[in-house]
């Protein structure tokens, strides 16, 4: 079980452990080039490959990508159908490569709506890569933060009616779609909008937010490094004061230097 940021202070590292991204701006990228929206989505898929590689190289352990929201069904039927097709071919063509690179694939969201063939490809891909350890790549597809909370609450209440009125965060946690991952440290949204669009509502409670005007197809390793640099300048207080954060850092540094300093008596003897 991972630490809840509202119950305990998670460890802060220079490289975020979990990065969650809203990949926005594919349509505008295509429009700027007088191309159909789907061309932007195809280019966006290339940017996904680059982002996965860059995250693995930087030691990020979890990368979560918002690919299709529960509200994206409102788009024209043709675009929805092409996005589904793109998802299917990505599953067919990329899973073996993920596996070769020791990457674990997970998909969150109500994927039954995409049809049996996609569900089967997802389950096969997840099973094949289940024991990989380098990076966990999560694709959120037909995902909505409210859907996630509701499905979790409904299952919890059904399975544990005896605890009604006394549920805790720890009771709910295993039912949430991302129960296998720590909460995101860094949230990135490309495309210039500054909103969550029903992404990971519960899990983003103490996540650092980073917005960039870059359109998703233009997002690359350099852009990722900029986001990480911004993250490294943040002070993650988790409700504490600045002074308390500084004190905790001094204590952590002090504790490790006590262990690492050589014993002066040994120096005299040698």
| Contacts of ligand IPE in 188-227 (CB under 6 A) | 191, 193, 195, 197
Residue 132 catalytic? no
For Mg ion, which stretch binds (CB under 5 A), given 20-28, 29-37, 61-69, 179-187? 20-28
What HEC string does 83-140 produce? Answer: HHHHHHHHHHHHHHHHHHCCEEEEEECCHHHHCHHHHHHHHHHHHHHCCCCCEEEEEE
Nearest Cα to Cα of residue 16 among 216, 212, 197, 234: 234
The residue from 67, 122, 152, 200 that contacts ligand IPE (CB under 6 A) is: 67
Exposure b/e, 16-34, CB count within 10 A at least 16 = b: bbbbbbbbbbbbbbbeeee
Site string for ligand IPE, 155-194 (x = CB under 6 A): ------------------------------------x-x-
Distance CA 87, CA 89 (A): 6
Tokens of 6: 């509202």
| Contacts of ligand IPE in 15-44 (CB under 6 A) | 22-28
Burial (0-12, 13-18, 19+ Cβ within 10 Å), 222: exposed
Distance CA 45, CA 51 (A): 10
The answer to whether residues 114 and 87 touch, using CB atoms and an 8 Å cutoff, is yes
Q: How far is the CB of 121 from ligand IPE (least distance, A)?
A: 18
Residue 67: contacted member of Mg ion, ligand IPE, none (CB under 5 to 8 Å, by partner type): ligand IPE
Q: How far is the CB of 26 from ligand IPE (least distance, A)?
A: 4
Q: How far is the CB of 169 from Mg ion (least distance, A)?
A: 32
Task: Give the binding-site size for ligand IPE (rule: CB under 6 A).
Answer: 17
| Contacts of ligand IPE in 81-110 (CB under 6 A) | 83
Sign for the CA dihedral angle at 83, 88, 89, 91 comes to: positive
Q: Which residue number has the CB closest to ligand IPE?
A: 27
The alpha carbon of 148 is separated from its chain's Cα centroid by a whole number of angstroms, namely 15
Residue 197: contacted member of Mg ion, ligand IPE, none (CB under 5 to 8 Å, by partner type): ligand IPE
In this structure, the chain runs to a length of 270
The residue from 24, 148, 183, 185 that contacts Mg ion (CB under 5 A) is: 24
For ligand IPE, which stretch binds (CB under 6 A), given 8-16, 68-76, 120-128, 223-231? 68-76
Residues that bind ligand IPE (CB under 6 A): 22-28, 66-69, 72, 83, 191, 193, 195, 197
């Amino acid at each position: 079980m991972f630490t809840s940021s509202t119950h305990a202070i998670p460890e802060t590292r220079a490289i975020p452990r979990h990065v969650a991204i809203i990949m926005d701006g594919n349509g505008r990228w295509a429009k700027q080039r007088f191309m159909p929206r789907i061309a932007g989505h195809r280019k966006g898929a290339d940017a996904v490959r680059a982002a996965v590689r860059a995250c693995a190289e930087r030691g990020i352990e979890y990368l979560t990508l918002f690919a299709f929201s529960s509200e994206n069904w409102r788009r024209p039927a043709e675009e929805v159908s092409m996005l589904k097709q793109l998802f299917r071919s990505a599953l067919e063509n990329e899973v073996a490569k993920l596996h070769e690179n020791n990457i674990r694939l997970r998909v969150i969201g109500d994927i039954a709506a995409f049809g049996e063939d996609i569900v089967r490809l997802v389950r096969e891909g997840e099973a094949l890569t289940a024991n990989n350890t380098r990076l966990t790549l999560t694709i959120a597809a037909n995902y909505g933060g409210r859907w996630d909370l509701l499905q979790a609450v409904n299952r919890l209440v059904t399975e544990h009616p005896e605890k009604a009125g006394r549920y805790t965060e720890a009771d709910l946690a295993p039912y949430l779609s991302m129960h296998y991952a720590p909460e995101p440290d860094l949230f990135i949204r490309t495309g210039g909008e500054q909103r969550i669009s029903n992404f990971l509502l519960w899990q983003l409670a103490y996540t650092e937010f980073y917005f960039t005007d870059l359109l998703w197809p233009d997002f690359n390793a350099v852009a990722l490094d900029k986001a990480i640099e911004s993250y490294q300048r943040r002070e993650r207080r988790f409700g504490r004061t600045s002074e308390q954060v500084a004190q905790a850092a001094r204590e952590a540094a002090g504790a490790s230097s006590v262990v690492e300093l050589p014993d002066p008596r040994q120096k005299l003897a040698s």
